[in-house]
Chains A and B, each alone.
Chain A
Amino acid sequence: MFRKLIRNAGALLSLIVLMTVVLAGLFAPLVSPHNPTDQQAARRLMPPAWAEHGSQEYPLGTDQLGRDILSRMIYGARISLLVGVAAVLVSGVVGVALGLISGYYGRWLDSLIMRLADIQLGVPTLILALAVVAVLGPGLRNVILVLGLTGWVTYGRLVRGEVLSIRQSEYVTSARALGSTDGHIIWRHVLPNIMPSIIVVATFEFARMIINEASLSFLGLGVTPPTPTWGGMIADGRTYIYNAWWVSTMPGIAIVLTVLAANVFGDWVRDVLDPQLRR
Protein backbone atom coordinates (compact mmCIF):
# COMPACT_ATOMS: atom_id res chain seq x y z
CA MET A 1 0.00 0.00 0.00
CA PHE A 2 2.81 2.39 0.88
CA ARG A 3 4.67 1.60 -2.33
CA LYS A 4 1.50 2.26 -4.32
CA LEU A 5 1.18 5.59 -2.56
CA ILE A 6 4.64 6.72 -3.64
CA ARG A 7 3.86 5.76 -7.22
CA ASN A 8 0.73 7.92 -7.27
CA ALA A 9 1.86 11.53 -7.25
CA GLY A 10 -1.59 13.04 -6.76
CA ALA A 11 -2.39 10.86 -3.76
CA LEU A 12 1.01 11.52 -2.21
CA LEU A 13 0.62 15.26 -2.70
CA SER A 14 -2.85 15.21 -1.16
CA LEU A 15 -1.54 13.26 1.83
CA ILE A 16 1.20 15.87 2.30
CA VAL A 17 -1.38 18.67 2.20
CA LEU A 18 -3.60 16.89 4.72
CA MET A 19 -0.67 16.16 7.04
CA THR A 20 0.42 19.81 6.84
CA VAL A 21 -3.05 20.99 7.80
CA VAL A 22 -3.25 18.48 10.67
CA LEU A 23 0.19 19.38 12.00
CA ALA A 24 -0.47 23.12 11.65
CA GLY A 25 -3.72 22.71 13.59
CA LEU A 26 -2.15 20.53 16.28
CA PHE A 27 0.84 22.79 16.86
CA ALA A 28 -0.94 26.07 16.12
CA PRO A 29 0.55 27.97 19.11
CA LEU A 30 4.07 26.96 18.03
CA VAL A 31 3.85 27.59 14.27
CA SER A 32 1.63 30.66 13.99
CA PRO A 33 3.68 33.87 13.79
CA HIS A 34 1.18 35.97 15.78
CA ASN A 35 -1.61 35.66 18.28
CA PRO A 36 -4.74 35.04 16.13
CA THR A 37 -6.93 37.39 18.16
CA ASP A 38 -4.33 40.13 18.63
CA GLN A 39 -5.74 43.35 17.14
CA GLN A 40 -3.42 46.06 15.84
CA ALA A 41 -5.46 49.09 14.83
CA ALA A 42 -2.45 50.62 13.05
CA ARG A 43 -2.09 47.53 10.83
CA ARG A 44 -5.60 47.10 9.52
CA LEU A 45 -6.10 45.51 6.08
CA MET A 46 -2.42 45.14 5.23
CA PRO A 47 -1.93 43.30 1.91
CA PRO A 48 0.08 40.06 1.61
CA ALA A 49 3.89 40.25 1.73
CA TRP A 50 4.38 40.04 -2.06
CA ALA A 51 1.95 42.85 -2.85
CA GLU A 52 2.70 46.57 -2.73
CA HIS A 53 2.79 47.87 0.88
CA GLY A 54 2.96 44.30 2.14
CA SER A 55 5.15 43.29 5.04
CA GLN A 56 7.17 40.12 5.69
CA GLU A 57 5.84 40.22 9.22
CA TYR A 58 2.30 39.43 7.98
CA PRO A 59 2.89 36.99 5.08
CA LEU A 60 -0.78 36.77 4.03
CA GLY A 61 -1.79 40.24 5.20
CA THR A 62 -4.08 41.37 8.00
CA ASP A 63 -7.87 41.64 8.34
CA GLN A 64 -10.18 44.53 9.18
CA LEU A 65 -9.12 44.47 12.85
CA GLY A 66 -5.41 44.21 12.11
CA ARG A 67 -5.20 40.51 12.96
CA ASP A 68 -2.66 38.30 11.18
CA ILE A 69 -4.49 36.24 8.52
CA LEU A 70 -1.95 33.40 8.40
CA SER A 71 -2.15 32.88 12.17
CA ARG A 72 -5.94 32.92 12.04
CA MET A 73 -5.90 30.36 9.21
CA ILE A 74 -3.64 28.08 11.25
CA TYR A 75 -5.95 28.29 14.26
CA GLY A 76 -8.97 27.96 11.97
CA ALA A 77 -7.64 24.58 10.82
CA ARG A 78 -8.31 23.28 14.33
CA ILE A 79 -12.05 23.95 14.09
CA SER A 80 -12.35 22.58 10.56
CA LEU A 81 -10.51 19.38 11.45
CA LEU A 82 -12.25 18.94 14.78
CA VAL A 83 -15.72 19.38 13.31
CA GLY A 84 -14.81 17.29 10.24
CA VAL A 85 -13.53 14.35 12.29
CA ALA A 86 -16.17 14.53 15.02
CA ALA A 87 -19.09 14.88 12.60
CA VAL A 88 -17.80 11.98 10.51
CA LEU A 89 -17.46 9.85 13.65
CA VAL A 90 -20.96 10.64 14.91
CA SER A 91 -22.67 10.21 11.55
CA GLY A 92 -20.54 7.14 10.76
CA VAL A 93 -21.37 5.34 14.01
CA VAL A 94 -25.08 6.16 13.79
CA GLY A 95 -25.29 5.37 10.07
CA VAL A 96 -23.34 2.11 10.24
CA ALA A 97 -25.34 0.92 13.26
CA LEU A 98 -28.69 1.71 11.62
CA GLY A 99 -27.51 0.26 8.29
CA LEU A 100 -26.42 -2.98 9.98
CA ILE A 101 -29.72 -3.35 11.83
CA SER A 102 -31.67 -2.50 8.69
CA GLY A 103 -29.79 -4.89 6.43
CA TYR A 104 -29.28 -7.73 8.89
CA TYR A 105 -32.64 -7.94 10.63
CA GLY A 106 -34.75 -6.68 7.74
CA ARG A 107 -38.54 -6.72 7.94
CA TRP A 108 -40.28 -3.91 9.83
CA LEU A 109 -37.03 -2.55 11.30
CA ASP A 110 -35.67 -2.22 7.77
CA SER A 111 -38.82 -0.46 6.54
CA LEU A 112 -38.81 1.87 9.53
CA ILE A 113 -35.15 2.88 9.17
CA MET A 114 -35.33 3.31 5.41
CA ARG A 115 -38.46 5.48 5.69
CA LEU A 116 -36.59 7.57 8.27
CA ALA A 117 -33.82 7.95 5.71
CA ASP A 118 -36.34 9.06 3.06
CA ILE A 119 -37.78 11.66 5.42
CA GLN A 120 -34.31 12.88 6.31
CA LEU A 121 -33.50 13.26 2.59
CA GLY A 122 -36.71 15.26 2.22
CA VAL A 123 -34.89 18.16 3.84
CA PRO A 124 -31.40 19.01 2.57
CA THR A 125 -28.69 18.57 5.22
CA LEU A 126 -27.64 22.19 5.14
CA ILE A 127 -31.18 23.52 5.49
CA LEU A 128 -31.99 21.14 8.33
CA ALA A 129 -28.72 22.00 10.07
CA LEU A 130 -29.44 25.68 9.59
CA ALA A 131 -32.95 25.44 11.02
CA VAL A 132 -31.81 23.40 14.02
CA VAL A 133 -28.87 25.68 14.79
CA ALA A 134 -31.20 28.67 14.43
CA VAL A 135 -33.39 27.27 17.21
CA LEU A 136 -30.69 25.74 19.43
CA GLY A 137 -28.17 28.53 18.93
CA PRO A 138 -24.73 28.38 17.31
CA GLY A 139 -21.58 26.94 18.89
CA LEU A 140 -19.08 24.13 18.40
CA ARG A 141 -21.07 21.42 20.16
CA ASN A 142 -24.32 22.16 18.32
CA VAL A 143 -22.57 22.25 14.95
CA ILE A 144 -20.96 18.85 15.53
CA LEU A 145 -24.22 17.35 16.79
CA VAL A 146 -26.32 18.71 13.94
CA LEU A 147 -23.89 17.75 11.17
CA GLY A 148 -23.27 14.38 12.81
CA LEU A 149 -26.92 13.47 13.27
CA THR A 150 -28.04 14.63 9.81
CA GLY A 151 -25.21 12.87 7.97
CA TRP A 152 -26.05 9.23 8.78
CA VAL A 153 -28.14 8.45 5.70
CA THR A 154 -25.16 8.11 3.35
CA TYR A 155 -23.62 5.40 5.55
CA GLY A 156 -26.94 3.83 6.44
CA ARG A 157 -27.95 3.18 2.84
CA LEU A 158 -24.49 1.97 1.79
CA VAL A 159 -24.12 -0.42 4.73
CA ARG A 160 -27.65 -1.77 4.36
CA GLY A 161 -27.04 -2.57 0.70
CA GLU A 162 -23.78 -4.37 1.39
CA VAL A 163 -25.15 -6.28 4.37
CA LEU A 164 -28.05 -7.54 2.26
CA SER A 165 -25.63 -9.26 -0.12
CA ILE A 166 -23.23 -10.46 2.58
CA ARG A 167 -26.07 -11.98 4.59
CA GLN A 168 -26.67 -14.42 1.75
CA SER A 169 -23.01 -15.42 1.46
CA GLU A 170 -21.81 -18.92 2.29
CA TYR A 171 -19.49 -17.91 5.09
CA VAL A 172 -22.32 -16.23 6.95
CA THR A 173 -24.56 -19.25 6.40
CA SER A 174 -21.85 -21.58 7.68
CA ALA A 175 -21.09 -19.35 10.66
CA ARG A 176 -24.77 -19.50 11.53
CA ALA A 177 -24.80 -23.25 11.07
CA LEU A 178 -21.90 -23.46 13.52
CA GLY A 179 -24.06 -21.72 16.08
CA SER A 180 -22.58 -18.22 16.02
CA THR A 181 -24.72 -15.51 17.54
CA ASP A 182 -25.98 -12.57 15.49
CA GLY A 183 -23.65 -10.22 17.35
CA HIS A 184 -20.67 -12.42 16.62
CA ILE A 185 -21.57 -12.72 12.91
CA ILE A 186 -22.04 -8.97 12.54
CA TRP A 187 -18.87 -8.12 14.42
CA ARG A 188 -16.55 -10.79 12.96
CA HIS A 189 -17.91 -11.44 9.48
CA VAL A 190 -20.10 -8.60 8.25
CA LEU A 191 -18.35 -5.51 9.62
CA PRO A 192 -14.80 -6.37 8.44
CA ASN A 193 -16.17 -6.98 4.95
CA ILE A 194 -17.89 -3.63 4.64
CA MET A 195 -15.14 -1.64 6.37
CA PRO A 196 -13.32 -0.67 3.14
CA SER A 197 -16.47 0.92 1.68
CA ILE A 198 -17.13 2.71 4.96
CA ILE A 199 -13.60 4.16 5.02
CA VAL A 200 -13.96 5.39 1.42
CA VAL A 201 -17.29 7.08 2.13
CA ALA A 202 -15.94 8.54 5.39
CA THR A 203 -13.08 10.22 3.49
CA PHE A 204 -15.48 11.95 1.11
CA GLU A 205 -17.82 12.79 3.98
CA PHE A 206 -14.93 14.38 5.86
CA ALA A 207 -14.46 16.74 2.90
CA ARG A 208 -18.18 17.47 2.80
CA MET A 209 -18.37 18.14 6.54
CA ILE A 210 -15.54 20.68 6.32
CA ILE A 211 -17.50 22.53 3.64
CA ASN A 212 -20.71 22.27 5.69
CA GLU A 213 -19.02 23.64 8.81
CA ALA A 214 -17.47 26.48 6.80
CA SER A 215 -20.89 27.25 5.27
CA LEU A 216 -22.55 27.41 8.69
CA SER A 217 -19.76 29.58 10.10
CA PHE A 218 -19.93 31.80 7.02
CA LEU A 219 -23.65 32.33 7.63
CA GLY A 220 -22.92 33.14 11.27
CA LEU A 221 -24.54 29.91 12.50
CA GLY A 222 -21.41 27.89 13.17
CA VAL A 223 -18.63 28.37 15.67
CA THR A 224 -18.94 31.93 16.93
CA PRO A 225 -16.30 34.70 17.00
CA PRO A 226 -13.74 35.45 18.33
CA THR A 227 -12.71 31.80 17.65
CA PRO A 228 -11.12 31.93 14.18
CA THR A 229 -12.81 29.68 11.60
CA TRP A 230 -12.22 29.57 7.86
CA GLY A 231 -15.88 30.21 7.07
CA GLY A 232 -16.07 33.05 9.58
CA MET A 233 -12.92 34.66 8.13
CA ILE A 234 -14.43 34.59 4.64
CA ALA A 235 -17.56 36.24 6.03
CA ASP A 236 -15.37 38.94 7.65
CA GLY A 237 -13.83 39.72 4.28
CA ARG A 238 -17.15 40.11 2.45
CA THR A 239 -17.40 43.79 3.29
CA TYR A 240 -13.90 44.41 1.97
CA ILE A 241 -14.00 42.77 -1.46
CA TYR A 242 -13.59 46.21 -3.04
CA ASN A 243 -10.32 47.14 -1.36
CA ALA A 244 -8.92 44.07 0.41
CA TRP A 245 -9.40 40.92 -1.68
CA TRP A 246 -7.03 38.85 0.44
CA VAL A 247 -9.20 38.78 3.57
CA SER A 248 -11.77 36.43 1.95
CA THR A 249 -9.48 34.82 -0.60
CA MET A 250 -6.82 33.35 1.71
CA PRO A 251 -9.04 31.25 4.03
CA GLY A 252 -10.98 30.11 0.94
CA ILE A 253 -7.78 28.73 -0.53
CA ALA A 254 -7.19 26.84 2.72
CA ILE A 255 -10.64 25.23 2.43
CA VAL A 256 -10.22 24.36 -1.25
CA LEU A 257 -6.79 22.80 -0.69
CA THR A 258 -7.92 20.74 2.30
CA VAL A 259 -11.15 19.56 0.70
CA LEU A 260 -9.45 18.88 -2.63
CA ALA A 261 -6.76 16.86 -0.84
CA ALA A 262 -9.38 14.84 1.02
CA ASN A 263 -11.28 14.16 -2.23
CA VAL A 264 -8.15 13.14 -4.18
CA PHE A 265 -7.03 10.97 -1.28
CA GLY A 266 -10.51 9.45 -1.10
CA ASP A 267 -10.38 8.58 -4.82
CA TRP A 268 -7.08 6.85 -4.24
CA VAL A 269 -8.23 4.97 -1.14
CA ARG A 270 -11.24 3.78 -3.11
CA ASP A 271 -9.08 2.47 -5.94
CA VAL A 272 -6.79 0.66 -3.51
CA LEU A 273 -9.23 -0.70 -0.94
CA ASP A 274 -12.29 -1.36 -2.99
CA PRO A 275 -11.71 -1.90 -6.70
CA GLN A 276 -15.39 -2.73 -7.12
CA LEU A 277 -16.37 0.82 -6.28
CA ARG A 278 -13.99 2.20 -8.91
CA ARG A 279 -15.66 4.41 -11.44
Chain B
Amino acid sequence: MARFLTARLLHSALVIVGVSFLVFALVHLGGDPAVVLMPLEATPEEVEAFRVDNGFDKPFLVQFEHFAVKAVHGDFGTSLRHQRPAMEVVLEALPATARLGGLALLMSVLFAVPLGVLAAVKRGTWIDSLTNVLGLLGQSVPTFWLGLVLMMLFGVHWRLLPVSGAGGLKHLIMPGITLAAYSGALIMRLLRSSMLEVLTKDFLRTARSKGLPERTVLYKHALRNAAIPVVTIIALRIGPMLGGALITEEVFAYPGMGRLAMNAISNRDVPVIQAFVFVIGIAIVLSNLIVDLAYVALDPRIRYS
Protein backbone atom coordinates (compact mmCIF):
# COMPACT_ATOMS: atom_id res chain seq x y z
CA MET B 1 0.00 0.00 0.00
CA ALA B 2 2.78 2.44 0.91
CA ARG B 3 4.56 1.62 -2.33
CA PHE B 4 1.39 2.12 -4.34
CA LEU B 5 0.80 5.43 -2.63
CA THR B 6 4.33 6.64 -3.34
CA ALA B 7 4.16 5.58 -6.99
CA ARG B 8 0.75 7.18 -7.42
CA LEU B 9 1.87 10.46 -5.84
CA LEU B 10 5.02 10.51 -7.97
CA HIS B 11 2.88 9.99 -11.04
CA SER B 12 0.64 12.92 -10.10
CA ALA B 13 3.67 15.11 -9.52
CA LEU B 14 5.05 14.11 -12.94
CA VAL B 15 1.79 15.03 -14.66
CA ILE B 16 1.75 18.39 -12.88
CA VAL B 17 5.31 19.07 -14.07
CA GLY B 18 4.21 18.08 -17.58
CA VAL B 19 1.19 20.36 -17.45
CA SER B 20 3.31 23.24 -16.23
CA PHE B 21 5.68 22.60 -19.14
CA LEU B 22 2.70 22.80 -21.53
CA VAL B 23 1.67 26.06 -19.89
CA PHE B 24 5.24 27.35 -20.17
CA ALA B 25 5.60 26.29 -23.81
CA LEU B 26 2.38 28.14 -24.61
CA VAL B 27 4.03 31.56 -24.68
CA HIS B 28 6.82 30.26 -26.90
CA LEU B 29 4.37 28.91 -29.50
CA GLY B 30 3.68 32.34 -30.91
CA GLY B 31 7.39 32.98 -31.52
CA ASP B 32 8.89 35.66 -29.26
CA PRO B 33 7.38 35.39 -25.74
CA ALA B 34 8.22 38.99 -24.95
CA VAL B 35 6.10 40.13 -27.88
CA VAL B 36 3.30 37.74 -26.88
CA LEU B 37 3.29 38.90 -23.28
CA MET B 38 3.58 42.63 -23.85
CA PRO B 39 0.66 44.85 -24.84
CA LEU B 40 0.38 45.48 -28.59
CA GLU B 41 1.17 49.17 -28.24
CA ALA B 42 4.50 48.59 -26.41
CA THR B 43 7.58 50.14 -28.01
CA PRO B 44 10.50 47.94 -29.15
CA GLU B 45 12.60 49.33 -26.26
CA GLU B 46 9.93 48.34 -23.73
CA VAL B 47 9.73 44.86 -25.24
CA GLU B 48 13.51 44.50 -25.06
CA ALA B 49 13.58 45.67 -21.42
CA PHE B 50 10.78 43.23 -20.59
CA ARG B 51 12.69 40.43 -22.31
CA VAL B 52 15.79 40.99 -20.20
CA ASP B 53 13.81 41.56 -16.98
CA ASN B 54 11.99 38.26 -17.35
CA GLY B 55 14.94 36.25 -18.58
CA PHE B 56 13.50 35.56 -22.03
CA ASP B 57 16.97 36.13 -23.46
CA LYS B 58 18.23 33.01 -21.66
CA PRO B 59 18.25 29.41 -23.04
CA PHE B 60 14.85 27.64 -23.23
CA LEU B 61 15.47 25.11 -20.45
CA VAL B 62 16.92 27.71 -18.10
CA GLN B 63 13.76 29.68 -18.69
CA PHE B 64 11.63 26.64 -17.87
CA GLU B 65 13.47 26.11 -14.60
CA HIS B 66 12.92 29.77 -13.76
CA PHE B 67 9.22 29.43 -14.69
CA ALA B 68 8.77 26.17 -12.74
CA VAL B 69 10.28 27.59 -9.57
CA LYS B 70 7.90 30.52 -9.75
CA ALA B 71 4.95 28.25 -10.65
CA VAL B 72 5.54 26.15 -7.53
CA HIS B 73 4.97 29.33 -5.55
CA GLY B 74 1.84 30.10 -7.55
CA ASP B 75 3.56 32.99 -9.29
CA PHE B 76 2.50 33.29 -12.93
CA GLY B 77 3.33 36.95 -13.28
CA THR B 78 1.10 39.99 -13.26
CA SER B 79 -2.16 40.14 -15.12
CA LEU B 80 -1.81 42.74 -17.86
CA ARG B 81 -5.40 43.82 -17.45
CA HIS B 82 -5.98 43.60 -13.71
CA GLN B 83 -2.47 44.69 -12.67
CA ARG B 84 -2.53 42.07 -9.91
CA PRO B 85 -0.95 38.61 -9.61
CA ALA B 86 -2.54 36.40 -12.30
CA MET B 87 -3.01 33.46 -9.91
CA GLU B 88 -4.91 35.66 -7.45
CA VAL B 89 -7.29 36.78 -10.20
CA VAL B 90 -7.95 33.18 -11.27
CA LEU B 91 -8.41 31.84 -7.73
CA GLU B 92 -10.98 34.55 -7.01
CA ALA B 93 -13.15 33.18 -9.81
CA LEU B 94 -12.63 29.53 -8.78
CA PRO B 95 -15.48 29.16 -6.23
CA ALA B 96 -18.11 30.29 -8.76
CA THR B 97 -16.93 27.69 -11.28
CA ALA B 98 -16.73 25.03 -8.58
CA ARG B 99 -20.36 25.74 -7.61
CA LEU B 100 -21.51 25.49 -11.22
CA GLY B 101 -19.46 22.36 -11.93
CA GLY B 102 -20.50 20.66 -8.69
CA LEU B 103 -24.16 21.35 -9.32
CA ALA B 104 -23.87 20.08 -12.91
CA LEU B 105 -22.13 16.91 -11.78
CA LEU B 106 -24.85 16.33 -9.19
CA MET B 107 -27.56 16.98 -11.78
CA SER B 108 -26.05 14.58 -14.29
CA VAL B 109 -25.79 11.81 -11.70
CA LEU B 110 -29.34 12.40 -10.44
CA PHE B 111 -30.56 12.21 -14.02
CA ALA B 112 -28.39 9.29 -15.12
CA VAL B 113 -28.68 6.82 -12.26
CA PRO B 114 -32.46 6.22 -12.12
CA LEU B 115 -32.83 6.33 -15.92
CA GLY B 116 -29.82 4.11 -16.53
CA VAL B 117 -31.08 1.50 -14.09
CA LEU B 118 -34.61 1.71 -15.47
CA ALA B 119 -33.41 1.32 -19.07
CA ALA B 120 -31.44 -1.80 -18.16
CA VAL B 121 -34.27 -3.37 -16.17
CA LYS B 122 -36.87 -2.59 -18.85
CA ARG B 123 -34.55 -3.62 -21.67
CA GLY B 124 -36.21 -3.64 -25.08
CA THR B 125 -39.33 -1.76 -23.97
CA TRP B 126 -40.35 1.76 -25.00
CA ILE B 127 -38.68 3.10 -21.84
CA ASP B 128 -35.38 1.67 -23.06
CA SER B 129 -35.87 3.22 -26.50
CA LEU B 130 -36.82 6.57 -25.02
CA THR B 131 -33.76 6.73 -22.78
CA ASN B 132 -31.64 5.62 -25.74
CA VAL B 133 -32.91 8.55 -27.80
CA LEU B 134 -32.42 10.91 -24.83
CA GLY B 135 -28.88 9.63 -24.38
CA LEU B 136 -27.98 10.03 -28.04
CA LEU B 137 -29.47 13.52 -28.16
CA GLY B 138 -27.68 14.55 -24.98
CA GLN B 139 -24.38 13.51 -26.54
CA SER B 140 -25.08 15.27 -29.84
CA VAL B 141 -26.24 18.72 -28.74
CA PRO B 142 -23.42 21.27 -28.49
CA THR B 143 -23.21 22.83 -25.02
CA PHE B 144 -23.34 26.43 -26.19
CA TRP B 145 -26.37 25.88 -28.39
CA LEU B 146 -28.29 24.03 -25.69
CA GLY B 147 -27.62 27.00 -23.43
CA LEU B 148 -28.99 29.43 -25.99
CA VAL B 149 -32.10 27.32 -26.66
CA LEU B 150 -32.85 27.04 -22.93
CA MET B 151 -32.33 30.78 -22.65
CA MET B 152 -34.75 31.46 -25.49
CA LEU B 153 -37.39 29.13 -24.02
CA PHE B 154 -37.19 29.66 -20.25
CA GLY B 155 -35.69 33.14 -20.21
CA VAL B 156 -37.17 34.98 -23.17
CA HIS B 157 -40.35 33.11 -24.07
CA TRP B 158 -41.74 31.94 -20.72
CA ARG B 159 -39.73 34.38 -18.56
CA LEU B 160 -39.27 31.79 -15.84
CA LEU B 161 -35.53 32.12 -15.23
CA PRO B 162 -32.94 34.88 -15.40
CA VAL B 163 -31.09 34.92 -18.74
CA SER B 164 -27.63 35.70 -17.41
CA GLY B 165 -25.42 36.69 -14.52
CA ALA B 166 -25.02 35.20 -11.07
CA GLY B 167 -27.09 35.48 -7.95
CA GLY B 168 -29.18 32.88 -6.23
CA LEU B 169 -29.89 29.29 -7.17
CA LYS B 170 -32.18 30.59 -9.94
CA HIS B 171 -29.16 31.77 -11.88
CA LEU B 172 -27.58 28.34 -11.66
CA ILE B 173 -30.46 26.22 -13.00
CA MET B 174 -30.06 26.82 -16.72
CA PRO B 175 -26.23 26.82 -16.74
CA GLY B 176 -26.34 23.68 -14.60
CA ILE B 177 -28.62 21.83 -17.01
CA THR B 178 -26.56 23.03 -19.97
CA LEU B 179 -23.35 21.74 -18.49
CA ALA B 180 -24.90 18.52 -17.16
CA ALA B 181 -26.52 17.34 -20.41
CA TYR B 182 -23.57 15.67 -22.10
CA SER B 183 -22.20 13.98 -18.98
CA GLY B 184 -25.66 12.92 -17.85
CA ALA B 185 -26.27 11.23 -21.19
CA LEU B 186 -22.86 9.55 -21.16
CA ILE B 187 -23.17 8.28 -17.60
CA MET B 188 -26.69 7.00 -18.27
CA ARG B 189 -25.67 5.01 -21.33
CA LEU B 190 -22.68 3.57 -19.54
CA LEU B 191 -24.67 2.65 -16.45
CA ARG B 192 -27.25 0.90 -18.61
CA SER B 193 -24.68 -1.37 -20.24
CA SER B 194 -22.89 -1.94 -16.96
CA MET B 195 -26.20 -2.87 -15.28
CA LEU B 196 -27.13 -5.22 -18.12
CA GLU B 197 -23.93 -7.11 -17.46
CA VAL B 198 -24.47 -7.29 -13.71
CA LEU B 199 -28.11 -8.33 -14.05
CA THR B 200 -27.05 -11.72 -15.47
CA LYS B 201 -24.90 -12.52 -12.43
CA ASP B 202 -25.67 -15.38 -10.05
CA PHE B 203 -25.51 -13.31 -6.88
CA LEU B 204 -28.62 -11.44 -7.97
CA ARG B 205 -30.55 -14.71 -8.29
CA THR B 206 -29.35 -15.60 -4.82
CA ALA B 207 -30.46 -12.24 -3.47
CA ARG B 208 -33.89 -12.66 -5.03
CA SER B 209 -34.29 -16.22 -3.80
CA LYS B 210 -33.50 -15.01 -0.28
CA GLY B 211 -36.76 -13.11 -0.62
CA LEU B 212 -35.23 -9.64 -0.73
CA PRO B 213 -37.52 -6.99 -2.21
CA GLU B 214 -36.73 -6.16 -5.85
CA ARG B 215 -35.81 -2.59 -4.89
CA THR B 216 -33.10 -3.79 -2.55
CA VAL B 217 -31.82 -6.25 -5.13
CA LEU B 218 -31.56 -3.59 -7.82
CA TYR B 219 -30.37 -0.58 -5.91
CA LYS B 220 -28.17 -2.28 -3.33
CA HIS B 221 -26.81 -5.41 -4.93
CA ALA B 222 -26.85 -4.67 -8.65
CA LEU B 223 -26.19 -0.93 -8.72
CA ARG B 224 -23.30 -1.17 -6.31
CA ASN B 225 -21.51 -3.56 -8.60
CA ALA B 226 -22.45 -1.74 -11.78
CA ALA B 227 -21.25 1.55 -10.34
CA ILE B 228 -17.52 0.81 -10.47
CA PRO B 229 -16.90 1.61 -14.16
CA VAL B 230 -19.36 4.48 -13.85
CA VAL B 231 -17.40 6.10 -11.03
CA THR B 232 -14.30 6.00 -13.26
CA ILE B 233 -16.18 7.82 -16.00
CA ILE B 234 -17.53 10.39 -13.57
CA ALA B 235 -13.97 11.13 -12.47
CA LEU B 236 -12.81 11.35 -16.09
CA ARG B 237 -15.66 13.75 -16.85
CA ILE B 238 -14.29 16.40 -14.50
CA GLY B 239 -11.77 17.60 -17.12
CA PRO B 240 -14.16 17.89 -20.07
CA MET B 241 -16.75 19.44 -17.74
CA LEU B 242 -14.30 22.19 -16.83
CA GLY B 243 -13.93 22.79 -20.58
CA GLY B 244 -17.72 22.82 -20.91
CA ALA B 245 -17.96 25.17 -17.93
CA LEU B 246 -15.92 27.69 -19.89
CA ILE B 247 -18.45 27.68 -22.72
CA THR B 248 -21.43 27.65 -20.36
CA GLU B 249 -20.08 30.59 -18.39
CA GLU B 250 -19.47 32.51 -21.59
CA VAL B 251 -23.04 31.87 -22.82
CA PHE B 252 -24.72 32.82 -19.54
CA ALA B 253 -22.28 35.62 -18.62
CA TYR B 254 -21.62 33.69 -15.42
CA PRO B 255 -18.66 35.16 -13.53
CA GLY B 256 -16.40 32.10 -13.15
CA MET B 257 -12.91 31.07 -14.21
CA GLY B 258 -14.01 30.23 -17.75
CA ARG B 259 -15.40 33.68 -18.41
CA LEU B 260 -12.28 35.18 -16.90
CA ALA B 261 -10.17 33.07 -19.26
CA MET B 262 -12.27 34.10 -22.26
CA ASN B 263 -11.81 37.76 -21.35
CA ALA B 264 -8.10 37.11 -20.87
CA ILE B 265 -7.96 35.64 -24.36
CA SER B 266 -9.58 38.65 -25.98
CA ASN B 267 -7.24 40.95 -24.01
CA ARG B 268 -4.19 38.77 -24.77
CA ASP B 269 -3.68 38.58 -21.02
CA VAL B 270 -1.37 35.56 -21.25
CA PRO B 271 -0.37 35.28 -17.55
CA VAL B 272 -4.05 34.80 -16.64
CA ILE B 273 -4.50 32.18 -19.38
CA GLN B 274 -1.42 30.34 -18.08
CA ALA B 275 -2.59 30.44 -14.47
CA PHE B 276 -6.05 29.24 -15.58
CA VAL B 277 -4.71 26.25 -17.54
CA PHE B 278 -2.45 25.38 -14.61
CA VAL B 279 -5.29 25.50 -12.07
CA ILE B 280 -7.43 23.28 -14.33
CA GLY B 281 -4.54 20.82 -14.61
CA ILE B 282 -4.13 20.67 -10.83
CA ALA B 283 -7.88 20.16 -10.38
CA ILE B 284 -7.88 17.23 -12.82
CA VAL B 285 -4.79 15.58 -11.37
CA LEU B 286 -6.16 15.89 -7.83
CA SER B 287 -9.57 14.49 -8.73
CA ASN B 288 -7.97 11.52 -10.51
CA LEU B 289 -5.77 10.91 -7.50
CA ILE B 290 -8.71 10.98 -5.10
CA VAL B 291 -10.71 8.54 -7.23
CA ASP B 292 -7.80 6.12 -7.47
CA LEU B 293 -7.29 6.20 -3.72
CA ALA B 294 -11.03 5.88 -3.10
CA TYR B 295 -11.06 2.68 -5.18
CA VAL B 296 -8.59 0.99 -2.93
CA ALA B 297 -10.63 2.01 0.08
CA LEU B 298 -14.03 1.12 -1.39
CA ASP B 299 -13.48 -2.01 -3.40
CA PRO B 300 -11.84 -4.80 -1.43
CA ARG B 301 -11.15 -6.70 -4.66
CA ILE B 302 -8.74 -4.06 -5.90
CA ARG B 303 -5.29 -4.59 -4.44
CA TYR B 304 -2.28 -2.60 -5.46
CA SER B 305 1.21 -3.78 -4.96
Q: Which residues of A contact B (CB under 8 A)?
A: 115-116, 118-119, 121-128, 130-132, 134-137, 207, 211, 214-215, 218-221, 231, 234, 237-238, 241-242, 245, 248-249, 252, 255-256, 259-260, 263-264, 267, 279
Contacts and interface: CB of A to CB of B under 8 A. Distances in A.
A166 B247 CA distance: 41
A238 B243 contact: no
A115 B16 CA distance: 11
A248 B140 contact: no
A124 B140 contact: no
B277 A128 contact: yes
Contacts of B190: 279
A130 B259 CA distance: 13
B273 to A, nearest CB: 5
Contact of B22 (A119, A211, A219, A221): A119
A74 B231 CA distance: 41
Contacts of A126: 240, 243-244, 246-247
B70 to A, nearest CB: 19
Contacts of A219: 144, 247, 250, 262
A243 to B, nearest CB: 9
Nearest to B137: A260
A128 B240 CA distance: 11
A236 B253 CA distance: 16
B29 A136 contact: yes
B152 A131 contact: no
A124 B243 contact: yes
Contact of B140 (A115, A118, A259): A259
Contacts of B26: 131-132, 135
B52 interface: no
Contacts of A234: 144-145, 148
A136 to B, nearest CB: 6
Kindly list the 5 A-B residue pairs having the minimum CB-CB distance in the complex, ordered from nearest.
A119-B18, A126-B243, A279-B193, A124-B243, A252-B145
B114 interface: no
B239 A121 contact: yes
B189 A279 contact: yes
Contacts of A214: 142, 144-145
Contact of A245 (B142, B152, B246): B152
29 contacts: A115-B18, A122-B16, A122-B18, A122-B22, A123-B239, A124-B239, A124-B242, A124-B284, A125-B240, A126-B243, A127-B243, A131-B26, A134-B268, A135-B30, A215-B143, A215-B247, A218-B144, A221-B265, A241-B151, A241-B152, A242-B156, A248-B145, A248-B148, A248-B152, A256-B140, A259-B140, A260-B137, A260-B140, A279-B189
B136 interface: yes
A4 to B, nearest CB: 19
Interface string B7-44: 00001001110110110001101100000100000000
B149 interface: yes
Given A119-B15, A132-B29, A124 B261 contact: no
Nearest to B141: A256
Contacts of A252: 142, 145, 148-149
Contacts of B148: 234, 237-238, 241, 248, 252
Given A123-B22, A245-B152, 17 more contacts: A115-B15, A118-B15, A119-B21, A119-B22, A121-B284, A126-B243, A127-B243, A135-B26, A135-B36, A207-B140, A215-B247, A221-B265, A231-B142, A249-B149, A252-B145, A260-B136, A263-B136
Nearest to A211: B142
A125 B239 CA distance: 9
Given A124-B243, A135-B27, A252-B149, A119 B19 contact: yes
Nearest to A210: B142
A169 to B, nearest CB: 25
B243 A263 contact: no
A242 B148 CA distance: 11
Given A126-B246, A128-B277, A115 B14 contact: yes
B3 to A, nearest CB: 17
B289 to A, nearest CB: 11
Given A218-B144, A256-B141, A131 B273 contact: yes
Contacts of A130: 246, 261, 265
B281 A123 contact: yes
A113 to B, nearest CB: 13
Most buried by A among B144, B193, B250, B285: B144
A135 B246 contact: no
B89 interface: no
B234 interface: no
Interface in B125-174: 136-137, 139-145, 148-149, 151-152, 156
B198 to A, nearest CB: 13
Given A135-B27, A245-B152, A263-B139, A118 B280 contact: no
A250 B196 CA distance: 38
